[in-house]
């Protein structure tokens, strides 16, 4: 089966400075890849190349076998769920309207949207009756992040991109939500690319872990093999886990 | 009579002018929103455009309002005398707060929210209308509120170009030295500004519905204003005598023809009236022969009354297509005025008598007197006046009060001014015949005469009807006794 996402020597430069260089990897359908790296290693840039928030300045990125540059960016983005650390919920929308964003943009019929909102809120552990009518400011940080995940899942995308989604949560909430998310992953069978600097999170959630440094992908190995890597950067991360 | 009693007796006029004021401000703000909002949005989309747009709005904001009106009058389409010019000026003033707040409001939206919107596959216009504008609305609305309050204030100055509104009271009050009139304009204007600010704040939540309502009201008001047809527009300069004469022409035309009259009184100085007449913004006003000769035609002053009349009559016909009808009968020459107490103590009868005293006096003049060929410079040369400091320049109406209150000692007024006696002032004789004759004559555009010959006849019927003495009494009835101009003119016409 063809890979669902493929990087072919992809690079991204801004004002002559390379943020990401010569990245090659493939993501198989249904697997979760964690891109692990320090701040500024290029992992967020790599993620943003997938849904064409950024356009590669060299090489190419393929989604479902087609170059992102050949996709209509709006169509492409509506097929890919996206969760960021700052969440970015619309403060003037209720939880229900936030979650319904993409289905509404896609003009789903109203009842279908409502059912879907209730379903995904349930998936992320939020009781629809209790939360649907609330505004983001009336939620805790963890609840907001669950809404962010629900919004990304609402249109049932086959790919989910997550950029340190749990980074801003307190350690206990983070640990809870990671476990729930792991369970959700198994249930939904979505393809996911997950960016983090937390090696513990990488081990919990990743089928494979890609190590990034200075805009380059140093290695992409099954999670179980990560600690065997010989690279000093890998060792630094492995040590921080121990 | 207190200010409030005064306003109550004039309540219909206060209401009318307040509505006019609201109409001007309302239309101007709606247009400013229609221009400013897209410009502000454009700035967020194309940062390169933002500098020139903001620079333009900033520069406009720093131009003094009266100067801006001055620039606009000679321009075709957007300029001229009347409501349109006022609206254009108000729109220009209102742009900056609206543009700037639209830009800051949208730029201030959390980048994470914008990023999330884009990543969810919103198009730029969906992002703008569903996310950025709703979130920036509070800031944008604050800009509209600021613009409205500024516009309510600036609109009072619009009366100077004949746009009406509460500024009419203020200008009239200043020229008549009547603080009740000033307050009758200033109090409702201040109240309007406060109500607009609070009102807009209150409707912020139900923004769209009430804005629509506001639009409808403004459009209806504009339509009703436009539907006025075929009227004779009477103008006047901005001092009491001119307002009385303007009202006189208006009532004479209304009384002897079937035409309807629009009054654009209190238009500012000679040049504004002249430009307005040439441009067809007004159809008739009363001009003085000497003023036309020197200030408009830029010819040297002359002492021969008949020759001056013939000169200006011929020149206006050829150059401007404007007819000088028959003189009204009085000569409103410049008059040098001092306090009666000073004149008695120092035994001053003529300007020559007063010349030696000028070494320890302060002079106060209106703007025109400083600028004009037959004004201050020639006077000082002819009589050898030596003031220790340059003359203080102020509004003509204020000079009387300034002299009476010993702020200045030597002023140039008009020989027909009713206030001279009332304020304890006295006219010094022009013993060297420096001032040329200023015979008052109604002017009318040839185009109007061709279409409505009865207007010329109506104006001719006023020939020789007003002596200097009568004019001074009319002026005093308004300035000194605070009678209503319309009433004073009505009684005068009845007596003839």
- Which range has the worst mean pLDDT, A13-22, B80-89, B354-363, B486-495? B80-89
Task: Report the gap between the CA of A40 and the closest CA in chain B (Å).
Answer: 18
pTM of the model: 0.65
- Evaluate if residue B353 carries a pLDDT over 50: yes
Tell me what pLDDT residue B175 has. Answer: 67
Chain B residues with beta carbon closer than 8 angstroms to that of A77 = 118-121
Interhelix angle B485-495/B468-479, rounded to 10 degrees, is 150
DSSP label at residue B292? I
Judged by DSSP in three states, A23 sits in strand
Element (H, E) at A110: helix A110-123
pLDDT averaged over every residue in chain B: 85
- Contact between B193 and B152 (Cβ < 8 Å): yes
Report CA torsion sign: A66, A72, A75, A78.
positive
Residues B122-145 have a mean pLDDT of 90
Size of the A and B interface in Cβ pairs below 8 Å: 58
Chain B residues with beta carbon closer than 8 angstroms to that of A53 = 115, 118-119
Q: Which one of A90, A97, A164, A168 would you mutate to disrupt binding with B, by most B Cβ within 10 Å of its Cβ?
A: A90
Which stretches of chain B sit within 8 Å of chain A by CB? Answer: 110, 112-123, 126, 130-131, 134-135
Tell me whether A87 touches chain B (CB under 8 Å): yes
Tell me whether A192 touches chain B (CB under 8 Å): no
Q: B79 falls in which pLDDT band (50, 70, 90)?
A: low
Which domains does chain A possess? 1-77+191-242 (3.40.50.300)
Is A74's CB within 8 Å of B121's CB? yes
Is A77's CB within 8 Å of B120's CB? yes
Measure CB to CB from residue A74 to each of B123, B134, B135 and give the nearest one.
B123
Q: B228 falls in which pLDDT band (50, 70, 90)?
A: very low
- Evaluate if residue B405 carries a pLDDT over 80: yes
Q: B285 falls in which pLDDT band (50, 70, 90)?
A: very high
Residue ranges of chain A with per-residue pLDDT less than 50: none
Tell me what pLDDT residue A169 has. Answer: 84
Is A105's CB within 8 Å of B115's CB? no
Tell me whether A97 touches chain B (CB under 8 Å): no
Task: Report the gap between the CA of B49 and the closest CA in chain A (Å).
Answer: 21
Q: B236 falls in which pLDDT band (50, 70, 90)?
A: very high
Q: How far apart are CA B412 and CA B399, in angstroms?
A: 8
Q: The complex's ipTM? A: 0.89
- pLDDT tens column, B418-455: 778 778 888 898 888 888 888 999 999 998 888 888 99
Task: Report the gap between the CA of A88 and the closest CA in chain B (Å).
Answer: 4
Q: Distance from CA of residue B330 to its chain's centroid?
A: 25
Is A78's CB within 8 Å of B119's CB? no
CB atoms within 10 A of CB A22: 15
Q: B132 falls in which pLDDT band (50, 70, 90)?
A: very high
Extract the tokens encoding B170.
């203020």
- Which range has the worst mean pLDDT, B107-116, B213-222, B400-409? B213-222
- pLDDT tens column, B298-351: 888 787 888 999 999 999 999 899 999 999 999 888 889 999 999 999 999 999
Q: B409 falls in which pLDDT band (50, 70, 90)?
A: very high
Task: Report the gap between the CA of B141 and the closest CA in chain A (Å).
Answer: 16
- pLDDT tens column, B213-227: 655 565 555 555 544
Q: B479 falls in which pLDDT band (50, 70, 90)?
A: confident
Q: How far apart are CA B494 and CA B483, in angstroms?
A: 16
């Amino acid at each position: 089966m063809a890979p669902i996402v493929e990087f072919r020597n992809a690079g991204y430069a801004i004002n002559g400075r390379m943020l990401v260089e010569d990245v090659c990897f493939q993501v198989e359908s249904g697997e979760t890849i964690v891109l692990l790296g320090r701040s500024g290693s290029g992992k967020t840039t790599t993620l943003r190349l997938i849904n064409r928030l950024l356009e590669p300045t060299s090489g190419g990125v393929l989604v479902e076998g087609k170059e992102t540059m050949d996709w209509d960016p709006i169509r492409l983005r509506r097929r890919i769920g996206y969760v960021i650390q700052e969440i970015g919920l619309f403060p003037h929308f209720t939880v229900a309207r936030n979650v319904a964003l993409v289905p509404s943009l896609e003009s789903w019929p109203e009842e279908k949207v409502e059912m879907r909102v209730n379903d995904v809120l349930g998936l992320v552990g939020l009781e629809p009756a209790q939360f649907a009518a609330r505004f983001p400011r009336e939620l805790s940080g963890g609840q907001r992040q669950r809404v962010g995940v629900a919004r990304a899942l609402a249109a049932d995308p086959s790919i989910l991109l997550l950029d340190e989604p749990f980074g801003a949560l307190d350690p206990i909430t983070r640990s809870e939500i990671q476990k729930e998310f792991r369970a959700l992953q198994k249930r939904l069978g979505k393809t996911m690319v997950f960016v983090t600097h937390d090696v513990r999170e990488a081990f919990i959630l990743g089928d494979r872990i890609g190590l990034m440094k200075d805009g380059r992908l140093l290695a992409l190995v099954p999670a179980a093999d990560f600690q065997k890597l010989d690279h000093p950067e890998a060792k630094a991360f492995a040590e921080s886990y121990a | 009579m207190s200010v409030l009693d005064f306003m109550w007796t004039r309540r219909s006029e206060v209401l009318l002018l307040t509505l006019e004021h609201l109409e001007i401000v309302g239309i101007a703000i709606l247009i400013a929103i229609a221009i400013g909002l897209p410009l502000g949005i454009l700035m967020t989309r194309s940062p390169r455009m933002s500098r020139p747009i903001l620079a333009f709005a900033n520069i406009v904001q720093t131009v003094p309002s009266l100067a801006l009106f001055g620039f606009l009058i000679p321009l075709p389409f957007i300029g001229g005398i009347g409501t349109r010019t006022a609206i254009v000026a108000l729109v220009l003033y209102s742009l900056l707060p609206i543009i700037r707040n639209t830009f800051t409001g949208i730029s201030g939206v959390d980048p994470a929210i914008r990023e999330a919107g884009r990543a969810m596959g919103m198009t730029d216009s969906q992002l703008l209308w569903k996310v950025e504008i709703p979130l920036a609305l509070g800031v944008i609305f604050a800009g509209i509120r600021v613009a409205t309050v500024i516009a309510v204030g600036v609109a009072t100055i619009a009366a100077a170009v004949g746009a009406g509104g509460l500024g009419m009271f203020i200008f009239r009050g200043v020229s008549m030295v009547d603080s009740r009139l000033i307050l009758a304009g200033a109090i409702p204007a201040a109240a309007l500004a406060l109500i607009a600010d609070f009102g807009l704040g209150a409707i912020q939540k139900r923004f769209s519905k009430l804005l629509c309502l506001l639009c409808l009201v403004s459009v209806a008001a504009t339509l009703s204003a436009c539907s006025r047809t075929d009227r004779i527009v009477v103008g006047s300069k901005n001092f009491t005598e001119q307002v009385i004469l303007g009202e006189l022409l208006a009532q004479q035309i209304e009384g002897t023809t079937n035409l309807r009259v629009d009054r654009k009184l209190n238009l500012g100085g000679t040049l504004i009236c002249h430009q307005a007449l040439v441009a067809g913004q007004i159809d008739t006003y009363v001009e003085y022969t000497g003023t036309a000769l020197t200030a408009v035609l830029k010819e040297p002053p002359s002492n021969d009354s008949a020759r001056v009349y013939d000169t200006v009559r011929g020149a206006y016909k050829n150059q401007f297509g404007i007819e000088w009808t028959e003189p009204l009968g009085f000569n409103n020459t410049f008059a040098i005025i001092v306090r009666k107490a000073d004149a008695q103590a120092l035994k001053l009868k003529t300007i020559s008598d007063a010349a030696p005293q000028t070494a320890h006096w302060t002079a106060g003049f209106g703007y025109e007197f400083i600028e004009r060929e037959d004004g201050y410079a020639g006077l000082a040369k002819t009589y050898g006046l030596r003031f220790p400091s340059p003359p203080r320049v102020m509004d003509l109406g204020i000079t009387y009060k300034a002299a009476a209150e010993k702020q200045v000692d030597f002023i140039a007024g008009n020989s027909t001014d009713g206030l001279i006696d009332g304020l304890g002032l006295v006219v010094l004789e022009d013993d060297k015949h420096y001032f040329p004759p200023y015979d008052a004559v109604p002017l009318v555009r040839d185009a109007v005469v061709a279409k409505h010959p009865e207007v010329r006849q109506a104006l001719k019927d006023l020939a020789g009807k007003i002596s200097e003495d009568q004019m001074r009494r009319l002026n005093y009835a308004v300035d000194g006794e605070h009678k209503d101009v319309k009433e004073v003119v009505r009684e005068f016409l009845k007596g003839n």
